[in-house]
Structure formats: C-alpha cells, structure tokens
Structure 1
Amino acid sequence: MPAFEYVALDTGGKRSRGYLNADSEIAARRELRRRNLAPLKVGRAGDKRAQSAGANLAVFQTRGLSRRDLMIFTRQLASLIEAGIPVEEALGLLSRQAETPVLRRVLSSARSRVQEGGRLAEALGDHPHSFPAVYRAMVSAGESAGGLGRVLNRLADYLEKADVIRRKIQAALIYPSALAVVAVAVVSALLVFIVPRIAEQFEGTGVSLPLPTRILIGLSGFLQTYGLLLLAGVGVAVILGILLLRTEAAKSQRDRLLRKLPLIGSWIRDMEAARFARTMAILVQSGAVLPDALRAAGRAAGNRAFAETVQSVLLDVETGTGLSDALRKSDWFPGLLVHMVAAGERSGALGDLFDRAAHQLEQDVDGRTSTAMNLLEPLIIITMGAIVTGIILSILLPILRLNTLALG
C-alpha cells in the first residue's frame, strides 16, 4: 500500500503534517477527513511533486536521517533480514517502531516502493539526503549477490567504526580548541590593554628601547588602531572562503593542496586509502563486479583529488589493466595496499585481501590520529607560553636597562 505525505488543518485550525498509507490519493484524502482533518496538500511519499507542494513541506521533505538513525536502521534491518523476514515486512516493522518523524517518513516511502516491485537500493535512492551513493551501491551489490543481510551487517560495522573515530577526534579537539581560544584572547588583552600602559612609563626617559620592545609597542598600537578592522576583515575573508569552497573547482584545488602538505598530506593519503580498501572489501565480498565497486569507492572518497585518481584507475581497469598495476601508477595508494591487491588477484581472494589491508590501514590511521591529538594540547601550551614569555621579556628589557643606567 503506497505511503502519502500530507499537510492538513485540524478542527482547531492548527496545521499538521505527517504520512499515512492508502490505496490512492483520493483514499488518503478520505482517510484524513475521517480523522477530522482538512487536507491542504497530499502527495506520494518520495514524489518530487510532493516535495515542491509548499515551502513548509519542501523543508520537511529534504531533511535527511542523522548518523545515529542511519546506523541503528542499518543494524536493525540487517538483523531482521538475516532472521528471514522479507524486506517489505522488515521496513514496515522498523517504520512503526521509528523514534523520529523523519525516519518514519523515509522508511514508509521505501516500503511503498518495495511493495510496488522496486528493489531496496532503488527505494533508498529516492532519499539521497539520507542514504549516500556508496551506501546504496553496497545495498545494490548485496541484493544482486543474494547476501543483503551480510552486506548490511558489514555496513553497520563500517558506520559504527567511522562514528567512533569521528567522536574520538571531536572529543580530543574540544580542550585544545578551547585552550587556543583562551590563548588568543589572553595575548590580545595583553597587547591592547596592558602593553600601552607599560609603554607610557618609558616615555620621556630618554632610554633607547630594545628592538623586541619597539616591535611589541608597534604591534600593540596597530591592534589598538586597526584591531576591529582586522577582525572584520578576517570575518569577511572566512565568509568569502566558505562561499568560494562551495564550487567544485575550488574544492578540488583545496584537496590537491592538502595532499601536498607535510604530515597532513600523508595522513590524508592513508585515511583515503583505508576508506577505499574498506569500501572495496565490502563490495567485492558482496559480489559486486570490479568496475561497479570502483565507481562506488570513488563516490565514497572524501577528497576530490583522490576521487579523480580512482576514476583514472577505473578507466585503466576497463581497458584491461590489472587492478594492482593501475593502483601502482598513483602515489595515493600505499605499497601495503598495492601488494595486498596483487596477492588477491593472484589467489582469487581479492575481497579478503582488501579486508586485511583495510584493517591494517585503519589501525595505522587511528594510531597516527591519536598521537597527533595527544601532541596538539602540549603544543598549544608551549606556543602560548613562548608568546607570553616573549611579551614579558620585551617589557623587562627596558626596565633592566633603566636600572643599569640608574646604578651607573
């Protein structure tokens, strides 16, 4: 039975919106009137016409699932399918148990599409804001190979692991970020409010101020005169940068520059290689053909320069080049991954070797990330201490010179 989304008025004149199952739009309107609701807009869930049926409903349509909802849904759907429950029935059960209206709407729409004879991957494709392209590609591969439950379990593992890493990085960045903000605020306060008062004490003494002191006083005067203008300029630059980075060309250029940076570039390479290996492992083990797996892995890339590299690999593979030879042409893929792929091609266990390579690369990335996060906090403290020490020395040097002259 198809699902319909609606906007209606209740007996008190209050607008409400939601979804219901009905045989047709007429039946949906009849059901709304039976509930004492006056229908304003009624449309098939997932239908583009329904998405454009009023501004409020459009906003309601385009909102996607949260990471948490996607992880929970994937794990629950995998368990139900592996228990032998049909996809349509599993979607209906999860839809009734959904905790959020967005999840309820998405699952209801997907269930309707499956009831009409569509595949699950096609049903999920109606909601690109909720299900990324690589997610749908993995589901499609699982359906084609007859191992949908197994693929969904691997997908759930992958999403949970990625979420753990993301949360770990966020937690590790909270304290250093707060420390950096405090450090900037303290140094700015010293330069704007304290240094000018101390500089007044040196006026009229006739003492030649040391170079560090003159630099400090000049910087303080610059901030007093142009501080607000500088702050506004930084804000405008940030906004322009954000707008510029919305273009694909700027994003690609940014990603190429990041790859060339020392330390950061190698970390990005290993992170993208690990994601590529994990995606390929899931798809190849699920029965996806190699070109389709490479296309999905390219869509899963977080770096556009890496995605372009995967596209080049795909073109080489389609012209008859071996996968390991195609990977070896680029510096994006570590030697470990290339050797594992070559061994997988020779042994016929490419999916298993991709899985081993992904596990090793993920461990390396996790270790390097943890080390970097642990070093960031003391680095900020040392930097702040060095700046404050420089300010104090710049203030003490003329005082010491005055004392020397007085004693002489």
Structure 2
Amino acid sequence: MHAWPASEVPALPGQGRDLRIHDTATGGLVTLDPGPVARIYVCGITPYDATHMGHAATYNAFDLVQRVWLDTKRQVHYVQNVTDVDDPLLERAQRDDVDWVALAEKETALFREDMTALRMLPPRHYIGAVEAIPGIVPLVERLRELGAAYELDGDVYFSVESDPHFGQVSRLDAAAMRLLSAERGGDPDRPGKKNPLDPMLWMAAREGEPSWDGGSLGRGRPGWHIECVAIALDHLGMGFDVQGGGSDLAFPHHEMGASHAQVLTGEFPMAKAYVHAGMVALHGEKMSKSKGNLVFVSQLRRDGVDPAAIRLALLAHHYRADWEWTDQVLADAQARLGRWRAAVSRPDGPSADALVEEIRAALATDLDAPAALAAVDRWAELQDTQGGTDTAAPGVVSRAVDALLGVAL
C-alpha cells in the first residue's frame, strides 16, 4: 500500500532541540534521545469514514513530532497502518450495500488526499492489515507455542497474564480495563475465556465474512492488536521511540499490543514513550463515527476552506487537550492565517532570529503548539505596528512556520 506525497520541509539555520514529551506509561514528561534515525509508529484509520477532525488532530500531533526530529538533523522512520478489515468496516459496507474492499480503498484514497492537503509528512511504510496477514500468522502461532495463547471455539486468544508488564501502559485498574474493553471492541463477557480482558488474536472464519488461510490456525482473520504489532516489529523492531495514537487507544489497543510484543520478543518495553492525543468534540460529545457527529476535512476543503487554516485550527489546541470544534475555532484560524500571510508579504520586517528559537523551544516542550502560534502572533503584530528593516525576516518566518508547524504561508 502506498502513502501520500511528501511536502518539502525547509532547512532552518541552527539546530533544533531534543523533544520532551508526555509518556502515558510513566505519567510524566520524558526526554527522547533517538539515535540518528528516530522511530515512530502511529496507529492508522479504519477506512469506512475518513478523515474527521479527530483524526486530523491526532495525525497533526505526530507530524509535529517528526518535524521536531527533522529539525535536529535526524532521519525519521515513520510507520503507519490501515485497518482495512475489521468489524466496523464490514458493518458499514453491509449497511450501505457496497463491497467492503471498494469501501476501504475509497476511504483510504480520501484519507491520502486529506493528509496531502494538510501537509502531513507521510510514513515511510504505510501497511494495510490485509497485506500484513502473512506476517501476523507466524506471530500468533509463536504465541501459542509459548503458552501465551489458547483456543476457544476456533478463535485464538492472548492470555494477558503471560506478560508480567501487562497494565503498565495505561496504568488502569482491572475494573476500568473491563469497562473499556467492552466499549472498545473487546468481549470481556464471553464464556470460556481465561481472563475477561484476554484479547482475540485470530478470529475463525465466519459465514459471509472475509477470511484468509491461517496455516495451523485455520481460516480466519487477525485481531486488531496483533495487526499493529506485526507491522511495528517488522519495520521498526522493539524499543522504538514513540508509539502514538488518540487517547482512546491507550487501552486496550496499545496496552495489548505492548504485551503481545513483549511476550513474543522477551524484551521490554515495546516503545520508549506512549504518546496520546486528546479527543475532539462536536456539540458537547466526542467526535466519533458511531455517534455520527463528524466534521470532515474533505467537506471543509470542498467548501473552499484553506487547508492551512484547518491546520492552524488544530495547532491552536495543545495536542493532549480535549477540545471542541466550533465555527469560531475555524474563523479564528482563518483570521490568524490572514494576519500571518500579510505580515510575511512585506519586503522587510523585525528580526526573526529569536522567533525561530521561540518556536523550537515551545515545540520541544511537549509539543506546545499554542505557545508557538502565540510567538508568531507577536512577530506579526510587531510587523503590523512597527515594521522593521531586516529584509531576510519575512522569508525566515515563512520557512520556520512551514518547517516546524507545517503551515505554508
């Protein structure tokens, strides 16, 4: 599966700063010090309705991570999956009486278009669950050999008790985990499971549903968590720098994935930091496909909204914050974009050297994009009220905003 084209990232003078970021597993800030190649895995979409503002906010957060790393002169090895077979996709295809493969391809193509318009840097590897199945099957078989998996009516489950570190990603108690498992795709009440929290690794073929040859597992399809584990281990290996996604993925998805990988490899941890973006609401409720309260990037684009304004609307909120999308949020972003573009359109202006360092410092401190925006606002206001004589300044600001914030002025 192919990703989307990369926009050019301007090189800035000087050196970027190492990133301190909030790690869900420790509950505090950690300083990331990758080697020459920083490794990041971000969980992708289930392509039955793409791309709403919640998606955009999440991928914007991890785009900033990449830009901070690139500014430190590192390379970035970024991997993202597409869950192109799963219950929600099959249910939507059945509801709309369309082929599930065609639906997945259509929505994945739209997602690529949205990511391109928003200037999100693409992953080096963009992998669908279906194409990963040949690598998933051996992992499930290996977990079974290790005694960490068991069969129940043809389905194969992972035993969470096989991982001594289980629970250390989300730091939730068993009662909270059970509630979230039921809400987020698990089946804690299924009779016969060794532990209610045990997640499915391989679902035996169901009538009328797609299935694949699973070798000794029989025909079926993979569970959700093992999909990402197979892709991450194949392309990044253990101990990669950041596992990312929305805050609703901390449990069960990232918790279970970490346990799968740790049992398979005997190494700990799967990722050095588990980083989670906040949720975006509309009309007082979390924006979600199940609720249908979605604002789509593609619809905004069709309505003539500049993608740079959409990106500024996302950047105006700290990535870990839960916030609400409103018409005013978009209007404020459009006004800010207009002020910035007017400021850099002049032939000279106030020196921007300090501004570049302010943006770098803000982003290096847990991706504080609102503080970075405020710094650019101050420069633009100074340009408007006092002007300046530095002929290089407008270009420096344009390149810094592009390189570090992904906004083309």
User: Quick check: TM above 0.5?
Assistant: no
Q: Which category describes the TM-score, using the shorter chain as reference length?
A: under 0.3
Richer in strand (by share) = 2
Quick check: which has more Rg, 1 or 2?
1
Normalized against structure 2, the TM-score is what? 0.19
